[in-house]
Amino acid sequence: MNSSIPPSSADANKAHPFLDKPGEKISGLFDEIAPRYDLLNRVLSFNIDVWWRHQAVKSLQLKPGHKVLDACCGTGDLSMAALAAEPNLDVIGSDFSIQMLLTGDRKRRQKAGHFKGPQLVHADTLDLPFPDNTFDGAMVGFGMRNVANLPAGLRELSRVLKPGGRLMVLEFTPMTHRWLRPFSDWYQGKVLPGIGNLLSGSKVKAYSYLDESVKDWPDGDRFAEVIRRTPLHAVKWRPLFPGNVAVHEAVKA
């Protein structure tokens, strides 16, 4: 768990061996599920994940010519959502899983000709290979939860943002509608790991890790507090339908 976050109620039930987020284990986990990652996102979210990304990129207030970082870009879907919103962007996607990047690269080449894809870079979000003050916007979709040191990851993202640049983090959050919580807990705790582990063929039980890492993740207000302790300010967050996903945004001073 991220050591600087107050412990949550899920700590007592911690079981997955990757919850401490060792970099090489997490990149290996995503290497393993890369071939089925996009398909499982669509199936397990009933396709809503596509809409989540399109909603989330609005927080960056993208303008033609902006230089945007998609950290923990995986197969590049958040980059694609940003480029769909504003085609005239310079988007760089970075990730430490080679297989996720290769899957993203194949997608990018399939769309080439009628869609400009992101530039893809192999990099750890804790040690980004970009100078200070490079980007107008930085975004992370379902990746921040996997970064071993959350405050350090946020500081690194802030470092590469230009002053006035915007950060957007799209991440799971504890279900915000109390009456939907029992269903959401059942779906996330039983259905999602069952179907995800089966269809991905994951030997390391990647979709059990997903469930447990979400339970281990701070709620929207607590995550906003973590962001406020970095050089980022004007922190806001909002849940997205049906309430199990949140968009956090902040600005570099």
Ligand X SMILES: C[S@@+](CC[C@H](N)C(=O)[O-])C[C@H]1O[C@@H](n2cnc3c(N)ncnc32)[C@H](O)[C@@H]1O
Give the interface with ligand X as residue ranges (CB under 6 A): 23, 26-27, 30, 72-74, 77-78, 95-97, 100, 124-126, 141-143, 146-147
Closer of 136 and 171 to ligand X (Cβ): 171
Using the minimum distance from each CB to ligand X, give the nearer residue, 102 or 180: 102
Sheet with 67-71: strands ordered across: 119-122, 90-95, 67-71, 135-141, 161-172, 245-252, 232-240
Q: Which is nearer to ligand X, 5 or 126 (CB)?
A: 126
Smallest gap from residue 216 Cβ to ligand X (A): 14
* In the complex, minimum distance from the CB of residue 77 to ligand X, in angstroms, rounded to a whole number: 5
Q: Minimal distance in Å, beta carbon 250 to ligand X?
A: 18
The DSSP secondary structure of the chain, one letter per residue, reads: --TTSPPPGGGGG---TTTT--HHHHHHHHHHHHHHHHHHHHHHTTTHHHHHHHHHGGGG---TT-EEEEET-TTSHHHHHHHHH-SS-EEEEEES-HHHHHHHHHHHHHHTTTS---EEEE--TTS-SS-TT-EEEEEEES-GGG-SSHHHHHHHHHHHEEEEEEEEEEEE-S-SSGGGHHHHHHIIIIIHHHHHHHHHT-TT-HHHHHHHHHHTS--HHHHHHHHHTTTEEEEEEEEETTTTEEEEEEEE-
Minimum CB distance to ligand X, residue 28 (Å): 9
CB nearer to ligand X: pick between 74 and 193? 74
Smaller CB distance to ligand X: residue 73 or 168?
Answer: 73
Closest chain position to ligand X (CB): 74
Residue 130 identity: F
Nearest CB to ligand X, comparing residues 148 and 251: 148
User: Please, which residue, 124 or 211, has the CB nearer to ligand X?
Assistant: 124
Tell the smallest beta-carbon distance from residue 30 to ligand X (Å).
4
Q: How far apart are CB 101 and ligand X at their closest, in Å? A: 8
In the chain, the N- to C-terminal Cα span, in Å, equals: 28
Give min distance, CB of 174 to ligand X, in A. Answer: 18
